[in-house]
């Protein structure tokens, strides 16, 4: 009976890892779309987010079934509850990637951002993709040491986000208000994407140790 | 034994209702601070969000204890799992109110926004406060009919958000890039605050009926 529980729990974490990988593909594809003002790539992101959305319901049902049928306690209980939380974070990551792709679609055939603004946003997107890949590995291994490293990488993303906001508010920036609005939102979407990756790590640490990390 | 479970569950939902009321106070106080460029009010929001944060851990522990000790099934299980999810939404609402207060603090003694932009953002803040009050009532009553009404109110918030973004991108708007960045972020914070209120409703419907609403 316990073995069956652990098999089902592993199956749940496999699904969560798949959701996280898809979210990483989505943010990387959205960044490629942004980089090249490419509508086809932008539309590919909507498809990826649909696949993430399609995994959400089954994951939540799987977690509920584990709770209802197996009545787990202690560490097992923590793993299932963590799984329930993670579904929210991973779905949100897919939505954020879709928001980025949506900006590309809205401005097509024009570029959403230019020059140094574009460069910083693309760097944010690349780092967001790295974070998602690392978060998927954390989910796969449930290793708290790997989870802690996510936070450090996310600091780099926060620095880039600050650079974007500083740049567009400089007197000599020269972009339009529309470009300022777009850059503000894109910066925010990438930053939040990173926050959710860190949250994945935070939850895996809780799962492994039972300790809540400070927010 | 079942009575004790339901007492503890009611206690959990009382705490969640308290968190939601605090989030409503926080967003309303942040809106007042924005309206008057008032630093004292802005700082009051940080205090309110600290109180929300202080309820988070105990709520999560309470939900975990209910799951571990009582091994609930069916509707009871849904209620506890819903409680676990709701803690995340309510904490996030407090963070968003704090982001708004932070803009006020950063620009003080200047106003963050002016004229019609200011007017639209204040309207968003008032509506966000109404949504939080309604969401607290939904938590208190766990009534799916009230929960559905949240969605309708949130549509009004989305309309205002669109108005803000349209306004600041009009050629004759006349604000600075700094004001455009601030208005873009504030609009986004209020909109996300509303989304989390709707999420509270969505989860209460799941709790009452076992049905997931489409995202």
C-alpha dihedral sign at B27, B28, B29, B32 = positive
Between A156 and B211, name the one with better pLDDT: A156
Chain B residue numbers with beta carbons less than 8 Å from the beta carbon of A188 are: 185, 188
A46 touching B (Cβ < 8 Å): no
Phi (first) and psi of residue A73, to 5 degrees? -130, 170
Distance from CA of B187 to the nearest CA of A (A): 10
> Which DSSP symbol is given to A5?
H
Q: Does A175 touch chain B (CB under 8 A)?
A: yes
CA nearest neighbour of A32 among A19, A45, A20, A21: A45
Beta-carbon separation of A185 and B188 below 8 A: yes
Give residue limits of the domains in chain B: 2-209
Token pair of A199 as six digits = 């949250």
- Measure the CA–CA gap between A77 and A56, rounded to whole angstroms: 20
pLDDT, tens digit, 9 for 90 and up, residues A71-101: 666 677 777 888 888 998 999 999 999 999 9
Residues on chain A touching B185 (C-beta within 8 angstroms): 184, 188
What is the predicted pLDDT for the residue at B76?
76
Q: Span A168-197, mean pLDDT?
A: 95
d(CA A157, CA A135): 15
Mean of pLDDT values over A134-145 = 93
User: Nearest CA to CA, how far is B72 from chain A (Å)?
Assistant: 7
Torsion of CA B177, A194, A17, A54, to 10 degrees: -30
Residue from B129, B157, B136 nearest B200 by CA:
B136
Of A63, A67, A57, A160, the C-alpha closest to A118 is A160
Chain B residue numbers with beta carbons less than 8 Å from the beta carbon of A53 are 215
Residue A67 confidence (pLDDT) above 90? no
Q: Largest Cα–Cα distance of chain B, in whole Å? A: 67
Q: Are A205 and A213 in contact (CB under 8 A)?
A: yes
Q: Does A152 touch chain B (CB under 8 A)?
A: no
Q: Is the pLDDT of residue A28 over 60?
A: yes
Subunit contact A181:B180, Cβ cutoff 8 A: yes
Cα distances from A188 to residues A25, A79, B189, in angstroms, run 19, 30, 10
Instruction: Kindly list the residues from chain B whose CB atom is less than 8 angstroms away from the CB atom of residue A67.
Output: 67, 77, 81
The CA distance from B142 to B2, in Å, is 19
Tokens found for residue B139 = 């938590």
pLDDT: is A148 or B17 the higher one? B17
A15 versus B75: the higher-pLDDT residue is A15
pLDDT in tens, B172-211: 998 999 999 999 999 999 999 999 999 999 988 887 776 6
> What are B26-82's pLDDT values in tens digits?
999 999 999 999 999 999 999 999 999 999 989 988 888 887 776 666 677 777 888
Q: What is the DSSP track for A38-99?
A: -HHHHHHHHHHHHHHHHHHHHHHHHHHHHHHHH---HHHHHHHHHHHHHHHHHHHHHHHHHH
| Cβ <8 Å between B77 and A84 | no
Contacts of B92 (CB under 8 A, 6+ apart): B192, B196
Cβ contact A64–B73 (<8 Å): no
What does the DSSP assignment read for A168-202? HTSTT----HHHHHHHHHHHHHHHHHHHHHHHHHH
Quote the pLDDT of residue B61.
85
Q: CA of A181: how far to CAs of A112, A126, B178, B186, in Å?
A: 10, 21, 10, 12
Q: How far apart are the first and last CA of chain B?
A: 36
Interface A:B, Cβ pairs < 8 A: 72
pTM of the full predicted structure? 0.91
Q: Calculate how close chain B gets to A203, using CA atoms only, in Å.
A: 12
CA distance A148 to chain B (A): 20
Q: Which CATH number fits domain B2-209: 1.20.58.220, 3.30.300.130, 3.40.50.300, 3.30.365.10?
A: 1.20.58.220
Tell me which residue of B95, B111, B206, B213 sits closest to B154, measured CA to CA: B213
Which chain B residues are closer than 8 Å to A169 by Cβ?
177-178, 181
From residue B32, give the alpha-carbon distance in Å to each of A59, B26, B153.
Answer: 41, 10, 20
The Cα–Cα gap between A23 and A39 comes to 19
**Cα–Cα distances in Å, from B170 out to A104, A114, A150, B27, B206?**
20, 20, 40, 28, 42
Q: Which of B86, B170, B177 is best to mutate for the A interface (most A CBs within 10 A)? A: B177
| Angstroms from A70 CA to nearest CA on chain B | 9
Which chain A positions have a beta carbon within 8 Å of B94's beta carbon? none
pLDDT tens readout for residues B110-154: 999 999 999 999 999 999 999 999 999 999 998 888 998 999 999
What ipTM goes with this model? 0.87
pLDDT at B9: 85
Is residue B17 within 8 A of residue B139, CB to CB? The reply is yes
């Amino acid at each position: 009976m316990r073995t069956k529980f652990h098999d089902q729990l592993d199956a749940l974490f496999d699904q969560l890892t798949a959701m996280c990988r898809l979210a990483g593909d989505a943010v990387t594809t959205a960044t490629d779309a942004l980089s090249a003002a490419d509508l086809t790539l932008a539309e590919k992101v909507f498809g990826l987010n649909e696949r993430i959305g399609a995994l959400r319901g089954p994951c939540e049902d799987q977690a509920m079934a584990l709770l209802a049928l197996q009545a787990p306690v202690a560490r097992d209980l923590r793993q299932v509850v963590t799984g329930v939380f993670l579904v929210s974070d991973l779905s949100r990551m897919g939505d954020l990637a879709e928001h980025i792709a949506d900006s590309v679609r809205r401005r097509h055939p024009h570029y959403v951002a230019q020059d140094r603004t574009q460069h910083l946003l693309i760097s944010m997107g690349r780092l967001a993709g790295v974070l998602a890949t690392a978060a998927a590995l954390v989910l796969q291994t449930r290793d708290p040491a790997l989870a802690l490293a996510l936070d450090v990488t996310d600091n780099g993303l926060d620095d880039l986000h600050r650079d974007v906001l500083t740049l567009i508010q400089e007197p000599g920036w020269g972009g339009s208000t529309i470009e300022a609005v777009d850059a503000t939102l894109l910066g925010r979407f990438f930053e939040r994407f990173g926050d959710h990756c860190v949250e994945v790590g935070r939850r895996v640490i809780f799962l492994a140790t039972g300790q809540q990390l400070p927010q």
